[in-house]
Amino acid sequence: MSNNTTGAGDDADRGGESSTDWAEAIGDGGLVVVSNRQPYSHTYDGDDIAVEVHAGGLTAGLDPVMQAVGGTWIAWGDGDADREVVDENDCVAAPPEDPGYTLRRIWLSDEEVDDYYYGFSNQVLWPICHSALTRVNEWQSYWERYRTVNERFVEAVEDHAEAGDIVWFQDYHFALAPAIARERVDDETLLMQFWHIPWPAWDTFRGCPHGEAILEGLLGNDLLAFHVARYRENFLACVEAAVDDAVVDHETGTVSYDGRTTQVTEFPMGVQADEIAERAASEEAAAFWDEFRAEYDLADTVAVGVDRLDYSKGIPERLRALEQFWERNPEWRGELTYVENGSESRSQIRAYQDIQARIEEGVERVNDRFGTDDWTPVVSFRDYISKEALAGLYRNSDLALISPIRDGMNLVAQEYVAAQVDDDGVLVLSDQAGAGSLLDAAVMVKPQDTCAFTDAIEEALTMPEAERRARMRHLRRQVTENDLAAWTALNLKAAMALRDASGSGATLSMEGQP
Ligand code: G6P
C-alpha cells in the first residue's frame, strides 16, 4: 500500500499493511460490521436518486476496510430514498458504483431516532464519555428504546453472522448489543467492539444512568478496544468498581465475568495517510486553493480548523485564544486568517443548537472587533468540500488549530499532518485529544487555558523553519506508521488470534502493541 510519491512511506513499517493482509487476517470466516451511521445513503434529488457518502471519521475509515475484506455492514438507513434501492432483505450493494460488500439497512421510527440516537446515545453516553456531566439528560424512554434498538440490530446480526465469523460493533450506540448477541449467536462467532470516543474515569462514569448495565453489555465482547491506554485503564477501573463478580487483570487487560473472558486493549485509529498526501499534491487541490484564497481574500498566513460543530471540540475556546492573540499582537492583524470549516451536527439537541449559536457569536465578535475592509480575521464556512479540496486546504494552511476539550482520537489532526507534503505546517493540538498521545511533536495546548493557548499560537507562528520542518517530518512518520491499514490489521489480527486461541484459555499477546 505504501507508495513513496511523497516520501512519507519510507519508514512505514506498521503502515505497510495492505488490504490483502486484512483479508488474510479474517481467514475463512466473514466480517459483519455494525455501526449507527451508514457509509452511503440514498436521497431524492428531484425525481432522481442520489448517493451521499458519509464523511465522518468512523464511516470513512471503515469503508475501505469493508471494500477490501467484503462481508456485511449493518447500519441505520436514514436516507429518504434508502428504501427504494434495497432488496427484499433490506440489503444494497456498496459502494454503489463499485460493489465490494453488502450494506444491510435497519429502519428506525421517529421515536426510535429521538430516544435511541438523540436521546440515550447523544444525551447520556456522549456527554458522560466526554466528561460533560452537566449536559446529561435522561428519560426513561431513552433507555428503553436504546435497549430495543440494540436488540433490533442484533436480530440483523443473527441474519448475517455464521459460526466462525467476526462481528465488529462500532461505538457507543451499541453498548448493550454484545451481551444480547452473545446469547443468540453461535459460540464460535467472535464479538468485538471499537469504542471511538473516550472512556471516562470511574468518578465520572459513576454518574452514568444504567452504568452497570452498560458495562455488562460491553463485557459480552470477546475483544473491546479503545484508542489509547488511559481509556482502557478507565474502563477496567469502572468494571472493577461497578460489576460484582467481575475479575479484572490489569496486566493482561482481561476481564473474567459470567463464565467468559473479555480482552480489553488499545489500538489508536489512523487515517489513509498516503491517499491524503496524494490528494494534497493533486491538481484539484491546487485549483481549489487558488480559487478559495482569492474568493475570501485570505491573508498571507492561514490557520485552519475543521470540526463537527460539537461542544466537545473547543471552538469557542479557540476563537477566544485567537481574539487574545490579535489583541496582543497587532502586527498580525491583516497578516493571519483563521479558516473554520464546520459541519452541522445533531442539531435537534438543544446543546448543539446552543454551541452553533455561540460559535457564530464568537466569529462575529472577533470579526467586528478586528476586521477591516480588506481583511476578515475569521472565515467560517459550512459547505461540504471534496476530499481533494480538503487536502488542499490542509496543505496550504500554515497551522492547524485542533483544540477539543475532550476527544477520543481526533482524526482531523492526523489528516492535517498527512497532507503536509511540503513538511512545513505546524500542528497546534489539545492535550485532551487521544491524538495528543500519538503526535508528540505537536505544539500542545490546554484549550481552556486562553493565555497558554495564545502563547502556543505565537510559538507556532514564529517557530524557526528548521524546527518546524523537523517536527512535521516526525509527525508525518507517526501518522504514516499508524495509518488506517495498521489500525485495521491490529484489530483484525487480534480478533483472529483470540478466535484461534478460543478454548485454550489464551489471551491476546500484547507484544508489538503501540
Ligand atoms: C463521532 C462518533 C461517530 C459518529 C460521528 C458523527 O465521531 O464517534 O460514531 O458517527 O461522531 O456523528 P453522528 O451523530 O452524525 O453520527
Please tell me the pTM assigned to this model. Answer: 0.94
Q: β-strand 378-381 against 399-402: which pairing, if any?
A: unpaired
**Atom 15 of ligand 1, residue of closest alpha carbon:** 345
Confidence of residue 27 (pLDDT cuts 50, 70, 90): low
Mutate which of 196, 309, 414 for ligand 1 pocket (most atoms within 8 A of beta carbon): 196
d(CA 158, CA 189): 11
Does the pLDDT value for residue 416 go beyond 60?
Answer: yes
Per-residue pLDDT tens for 492-511? 999 999 988 875 444 444 33
Does the pLDDT value for residue 12 go beyond 60?
Answer: no
DSSP assignment, residue 439? -
DSSP assignment, residue 116? I
Q: What pLDDT shows up at residue 510?
A: 37
How distant, in Å, are the alpha carbons of 136, 303, 306, 371 from that of 341? 27, 11, 5, 19
| Mean pLDDT within 201-212 | 98
Q: What pLDDT shows up at residue 7?
A: 29
Ligand 1 center to residue 370 CA distance, Å? 35
Ligand 1 center to residue 130 CA distance, Å? 13
Ligand 1 center to residue 37 CA distance, Å? 7
Ligand 1 center to residue 450 CA distance, Å? 28
d(CA 129, CA 452): 26
Does this chain's domain 2-7+17-270+486-500 share its CATH topology with 273-482?
yes
d(CA 170, CA 163): 20
Confidence of residue 422 (pLDDT cuts 50, 70, 90): very high
The count of other CB atoms within 10 Å of the CB of residue 451 is 10
Strand extents, DSSP E, 247-389: 247-249, 254-257, 260-266, 301-308, 336-343, 378-381
Ligand 1 center to residue 58 CA distance, Å? 7
Mutate which of 120, 124, 231, 308 for ligand 1 pocket (most atoms within 8 A of beta carbon): 308
Per-residue pLDDT tens for 303-354? 999 999 999 999 999 999 999 999 999 999 999 999 999 999 999 999 999 9
Q: What are the sequence ranges of the domains in the chain?
A: 2-7+17-270+486-500, 273-482
Chain-centre distance for alpha carbon 345: 14
> Of ligand 1's atoms, which has the minimum distance to the CA of residue 346?
14
> Of ligand 1's atoms, which has the minimum distance to the CA of residue 408?
8
How distant, in Å, are the alpha carbons of 75, 339, 363 from that of 390? 26, 12, 21
Q: What is the CATH number of domain 2-7+17-270+486-500?
A: 3.40.50.2000
Ligand 1 is surrounded, with C-beta below 6 A, by 37, 56-58, 171, 196-197, 308, 345-346
Ligand 1 center to residue 441 CA distance, Å? 27
Ligand 1 center to residue 197 CA distance, Å? 9
Q: Which of residues 4 and 159 earns the better pLDDT score? A: 159
Per-residue pLDDT tens for 94-136? 999 899 999 999 999 999 999 999 999 999 999 999 999 999 9
Ligand 1 center to residue 173 CA distance, Å? 10
In 7-72, which ranges are continuous DSSP H helix? 19-26, 57-69
Does the pLDDT value for residue 53 go beyond 60?
Answer: yes
The count of other CB atoms within 10 Å of the CB of residue 143 is 19
Ligand 1 center to residue 376 CA distance, Å? 31
Return the C-alpha cell found at 195. 469504542
- CATH T-level topology, domain 273-482: Rossmann fold (3.40.50)
Ligand 1 center to residue 400 CA distance, Å? 21
Q: What pLDDT shows up at residue 24?
A: 64
Mutate which of 41, 58, 312, 411 for ligand 1 pocket (most atoms within 8 A of beta carbon): 58
**Atom 8 of ligand 1, residue of closest alpha carbon:** 196
> Of ligand 1's atoms, which has the minimum distance to the CA of residue 345?
15
Mutate which of 35, 37, 130 for ligand 1 pocket (most atoms within 8 A of beta carbon): 37
Segment (H or E) for 148: helix 140-160
Q: Give the contacts of 503 (CB within 8 A, at least 6 positions apart).
A: none
Ligand 1 center to residue 117 CA distance, Å? 10
**Atom 3 of ligand 1, residue of closest alpha carbon:** 58
Cβ atoms of 229 and 267 within 8 Å: the answer is no
Confidence of residue 256 (pLDDT cuts 50, 70, 90): very high
Does the pLDDT value for residue 9 go beyond 50?
Answer: no
